Amino acid sequence: MVETPRRQQIEDAASTLFRERGYAATSVRDIAQALNLQGGSLYAHMASKEDVLWSIVNRAADRFNTEVAPLAAATQPPSRLRAMIRAHVSVVTSAQKDASVFLDEWRFLSAERRAQIAARRDAYEALFRNAIADGIQVGVFDAVDVRITATAILSALNGIASWYRAGGPLSADEIADSYAELFLKALREPHFMTRTIT
Amino acid sequence: MVETPRRQQIEDAASTLFRERGYAATSVRDIAQALNLQGGSLYAHMASKEDVLWSIVNRAADRFNTEVAPLAAATQPPSRLRAMIRAHVSVVTSAQKDASVFLDEWRFLSAERRAQIAARRDAYEALFRNAIADGIQVGVFDAVDVRITATAILSALNGIASWYRAGGPLSADEIADSYAELFLKALREPHFMTRTIT
DNA sequence: CCTACCGATCGGTAGG
DNA sequence: CCTACCGATCGGTAGG
């Protein structure tokens, strides 16, 4: 029986509280209380409250990259975007607390750390922009504005983090499939043998 | 020359700060400083900090309703959703600060006030669900899952509040049109005389 | 990991 | 609208 390291327990408890109340409205004593500790005791395991936020934000960013980047590199245009959407939704729903903190609380990081996350986010979004652009070039997607389309897709996918509830009417997979279908239709992935007649 | 009432100045300054730093991380003294006042002086014009948040959230909700509800009532299915999307984006971009606070900071309201906003939001989203459902019934839209489609659309539209910048590469109208086109294609608004051939 | 504490800041009030 | 203040709480530290 391996116990969860204290540091990880702190990050998990903080992730829950940061998501529920927001980073600024969560005190170090709130986190300590969730672990039945005194406020000052946490500083044996962390340098500052912001440090814990930084860890949570990074492990969320790592997770998105780990799940999505291989698909972006390996799969071919038509099904590539579908696979990436599904994987992104999978992270949002399976690591929901971290994902929410990553999306909503990263602005409370220091300027330098914020800049690092902004750069990582842009690189990640570029995976989606490329999937769309490649699909257009190959002729399976309409010639849409790549940047704004990628932004629209990711905004919708990220929004799931704020309303998804495990055990709700739709499973995570059903949500992922619905969103993937919706956006692939938006890109007019052509059906077999569809022609336009005057 | 009519001066802006103090109360409105307070709400405007608070809206800016709540959006930039978040409600919890903005102090009453921060708001006062933006108006060259002392912290305590604000209490001649407001009962509490939460009261100001409540005003901002409500004026944003009012704005969405004022702009979108008439279109939901008047226009016919195919173009109705397009008009509603455009109007929603117009509010997001023209009242961006209030819209951001409405979307991101309403969770800092008291439980009763949060419940009121939740009810208003659901009624508002129902306008979009109805526009989609009516389009399906009339046969201009595919038979998609109405609820999740409306959620996806509104998530994407609301996301604009967090990245739009006046004077950026795309005007508010161009963004509105792009999003409207994207989602109407996703609903497969049929082109004239398109048929599927085996 | 706890007790006890630090200076700073918080939302809000009294009295003018 | 200001000065001066209230008790509470904040992030973080020292010393054990």
Q: How far is B20 from chain A (nearest CA, A)?
A: 9
Asked if the Cβ of residue A43 lies within 7 A of any atom of strand D, the reply is yes
Contact A101, A56 (CB under 8 A): yes
Indicate the length of chain B as a whole number: 198
Q: Do B185 and A142 touch (CB under 8 A)?
A: yes
Angle between helices B96-104 and B6-21 (to 10 degrees): 60
Give the pLDDT confidence score for residue A75 in this predicted structure.
Answer: 83
The first and second tokens of residue A63, run together, are 């997770």
Contact A80, A72 (CB under 8 A): yes
Q: State which residues of chain B have pLDDT below 50.
A: 191-198
Residues of A in contact with B196 (CB under 8 A): 191, 193-194
pLDDT tens track, chain A, 198 positions: 677 899 999 999 999 999 999 999 999 999 999 999 999 999 999 999 999 999 999 999 999 999 999 999 988 887 999 999 999 999 999 999 999 999 999 999 999 999 999 999 999 999 999 999 999 999 999 999 999 999 999 999 999 999 999 999 999 999 999 999 999 999 986 544 444 443
Q: Let me know the angle formed at the C-alpha of B102 by B56 and A25, rounded to the nearest 5 degrees.
A: 95
3 state SS of B165: coil
Give the pLDDT confidence score for residue A190 in this predicted structure.
Answer: 57
Q: In terms of Cα–Cα distance, which of A128, A46, A36 is closest to A81?
A: A128
- Looking from the CA of B139 toward its CB, the CA atoms found within 13 Å total 0
Q: In terms of Cα–Cα distance, which of A155, A126, A113, A131 is closest to A77?
A: A131
**Cβ of residue B118 closer than 8 Å to a chain A Cβ:** no
Give the pLDDT confidence score for residue A194 in this predicted structure.
Answer: 46
**Cβ of residue A183 closer than 8 Å to a chain B Cβ:** yes
Considering only CB atoms, A186 lies closest to which of B148, B151, B182, namely B182
Q: In terms of Cα–Cα distance, which of B106, B100, B108, B114 is closest to B15?
A: B100
Widest pairwise Cα distance in chain A:
75
Summary mean pLDDT of chain B: 94
The first and second tokens of residue A31, run together, are 């986190």
**Cβ of residue B122 closer than 8 Å to a chain A Cβ:** no
What domains can be seen in chain B, in order of their start residue?
A: 49-197 (1.10.357.10)
The first and second tokens of residue A2, run together, are 């391996």
Give the pLDDT confidence score for residue B77 in this predicted structure.
Answer: 81
Give the pLDDT confidence score for residue B190 in this predicted structure.
Answer: 58
Asked if the Cβ of residue A37 lies within 7 A of any atom of strand C, the reply is yes
- Which nucleotide lies at the shortest CA–C1' distance from B10? D1
Give the pLDDT confidence score for residue A77 in this predicted structure.
Answer: 81
Cα–Cα distance measured from residue A159 to residue B160, given in angstroms and rounded to the nearest whole number: 12
Residue in A with minimal Cα distance to B179: A152
**Cβ of residue B22 closer than 8 Å to a chain A Cβ:** yes
Q: Please state, in angstroms and as integers, the Cα–Cα distance from residue B149 to each residue in A175, B146, B155, following that order.
A: 10, 5, 10
Q: Which residue is nearest to nucleotide C10 (CA to C1')?
A: B27
Q: Do B155 and A153 touch (CB under 8 A)?
A: no
Q: How far is B187 from chain A (nearest CA, A)?
A: 7
Contact A151, B159 (CB under 8 A): yes
Give the pLDDT confidence score for residue A82 in this predicted structure.
Answer: 97
> What pTM did the predictor assign?
0.94
